[in-house]
Chains A and B, each alone.
Chain A
Amino acid sequence: MKMTDRRITLLFTCITGLTILILVFIIGFIMVKGLPGLTLSFLLESPKEMGRTGGIFPAIVGTVLLTGMAVVIAAPVGVLTAVYLTEYTRDTWLPKIVRFGTESLAGIPSIIFGLFGFLFFVIYMDLGWSVLSGALTLSAMILPTIVRTSEEAIRAVPDAYREVSFALGSTRWQTVTSVVLPSAKPGIMTGVMLAVGRAIGETAAVIFTAGSSLRLPGTLLDSTRTLPVHFYILAREGISLENAYSTALVLILLILVINITAYAVMNRLANKGR
């Protein structure tokens, strides 16, 4: 009897080990293959010959612009939605609809967001393949993540804080802005950073809305190419595997730094709570 117990523990340890091994392998593989090509000039130069030589500077700019704008659009909407869901609703039909909307949006695959962004922003609103179209599409995609994490952060603020604020004669909105949101800020930041991590790696939704121009975007209505799109095109069309590896490395490092920071903030919060 004890024997089967030990065997099963061993088996499950091995499976967990395999899962971790896959992670280490993926990151290690990209590191080893991408590190030789990762120089300062690779980061700061424009690509030449469709990316066969030269660097990835425009793709870095495109990624930062697109993701930054998506967050600027989605974060206020998401946080205010979370405030509404936690602080303002009594049990009516409205919050149920809001929750249904965010939950449904969370389950929609990125390619559908890409199709929608193409039809709505690129064609219907006539924004063309542009930074703006891409950013608006991405903001719709990351909205559910921001709502959910902000909601959790706001719910974690002790009720006593609110009661004290009300007792001092504050209105609900004053309580939200001066007590609830400041206490929930680190949690909200974590959620926003996780959303950024997701947005940076997104390909399908971006390629049909921001296009894949290799030039540095001059205005928000110019087409641009993000790092994952650049990587995809380099790898799939076999333009340059070497540059593809280095691009992937930049992308992965960027995402790892953002996610590790986000979880570090979250962990510090959890420890403070104890």
Chain B
Amino acid sequence: MHNKETLIQWLLATVALSAIAVLALIIIFIFKEGSPVIARLGLAKFITGTKWSPTRGMFGILPMILGSVWVTLGALLIGVPMGLATAIFLAEMAPPGASRILKFAIQLLAGIPSVVFGFIGLVILVPFIRQWIGGPGFSVLAAAIVLGIMILPTIVSVCYDVFKAVPEAYREGMLALGATRWQTIKMVVLPAAKSGIIAAVILGMGRAIGETMAVIMVAGNATKIPVSPLEPVRTLTSNIALEMGYAIGEHREALFATGIVLFIIIALLNTLARIVARSEKV
């Protein structure tokens, strides 16, 4: 009897290790495929090079790194204030019944596939920007708006949970002192929820940087560094997805190398999120 239990425990432990095994395989295979080209060109040249021209053997991904950064910052600029305001409304202001239904609706927004977001951006947002704001329409701005909307559900649901975790006594104390509801939110709830909000922002950032299909459809994908939000842009993820279909040899290696850079950025963000989450518990 006891032996059987020990066996089961070890079997379970083995199964449980499959997640870390997959993670290890991902790292091994992508690094193995992508690192030779980085070694040949030199890391500095690869990530600071401004020319991406696979047919001439030029692989500089600075435009894509900056592209990812601009688009992600833009998405945060739109998604964080909107998400935060929505979460505050749902957690602190709305009647509980309405809040439940609205929160459910926002969770459904998270279920819409990224290709559909991209498509709506393509047929509505891009022509709108072209006609009313300027430029070709395919732009940093279009990508930022689409991504900003896509990260809304993440920001809202994480912030909502964080606000709900702030003890009711804090609010009551403030209200008893004669503070208004907004003063209570501003001076008690938000400061208490600060690290949770930061964690939500980092999570949203990770989602935005990693998003591919929606961005491809609205960003224009030009391989030059954009100087205005109305210019087309290519992100790290789109660079991989656009050219993987036909790339061979060194070109394909360079796409996996792009994957390595993306992977490292995501790993840094995850570590940051973990540190923030830990500091909250203490």
Contact = CB atoms under 8 A, between A and B. Distances in A.
B25 to A, nearest CB: 6
Nearest to A258: B111
Given A22-B109, A77-B18, A203-B114, A11 B85 contact: yes
B240 A115 contact: yes
Contact of B82 (A18, A111, A228): A18
Interface in A22-53: 22-23, 26-27, 29-30
Contact of B105 (A20, A113, A147): A20
Interface size class on chain A is: 35 or more
Contacts of A235: 115, 119, 122, 217
A259 B16 contact: no
B19 A197 contact: no
B187 interface: no
A236 B104 CA distance: 31
A18 B116 CA distance: 19
A66 B138 CA distance: 33
Interface in A225-274: 228, 231-232, 235-236, 241, 244, 248, 251-252, 255-256, 259-260, 263
B82 A107 contact: no
A201 B15 contact: no
Contact of A15 (B8, B21, B86, B117): B86
Contacts, number: 230
B50 interface: no
B111 A97 contact: no
Given A16-B94, A81-B15, 12 more contacts: A4-B180, A19-B109, A98-B20, A107-B266, A107-B269, A116-B30, A119-B29, A119-B30, A173-B4, A203-B113, A235-B115, A256-B108
A166 interface: no
B30 A112 contact: yes
A12 B19 contact: no
A107 B206 CA distance: 7
Contacts of A22: 109, 149, 152
A71 to B, nearest CB: 15
Tell which of B104, B106, B112, B181 has the most Cβ of chain A within 10 Å.
Answer: B112
A204 interface: yes
B244 interface: yes
A108 B108 contact: no
B256 A115 contact: yes
6 contacts: A29-B124, A98-B16, A100-B20, A115-B259, A173-B5, A203-B115
Interface in B143-162: 149, 152, 156
B12 A83 contact: yes
A202 B116 CA distance: 11
B36 to A, nearest CB: 14
Given A111-B237, A118-B244, A244 B119 contact: yes
Interface of B: 1, 4-5, 8-9, 12-13, 15-23, 25-26, 29-30, 33, 81-82, 85-86, 88-90, 93-94, 102, 104-109, 111-117, 119-120, 122-124, 149, 152, 156, 180-183, 206, 209-213, 216-217, 237, 240-241, 244, 255-256, 259, 262-263, 266-267, 269-270, 273-274
A104 interface: yes
Contact of B262 (A84, A109, A228): A109
B25 A19 contact: no
Tell which of B4, B13, B81, B256 has the most Cβ of chain A within 10 Å.
Answer: B13
A248 B273 CA distance: 34
A172 interface: yes
Tell which of A13, A107, A197 has the most Cβ of chain B within 10 Å.
Answer: A107
Contacts of B5: 171-173
B26 A204 contact: no
Contacts of B209: 109
A269 to B, nearest CB: 15
A125 to B, nearest CB: 11
Contacts of A263: 104, 107
Contacts of A72: none
B106 A228 contact: no
B260 to A, nearest CB: 10
A23 B109 contact: yes
B16 A110 contact: no
Nearest to A2: B180
A164 interface: no
State the 9 A-B residue pairs at the shortest beta-carbon distance, nearest first. A109-B210, A201-B113, A101-B20, A101-B19, A84-B12, A12-B89, A84-B16, A15-B85, A81-B16
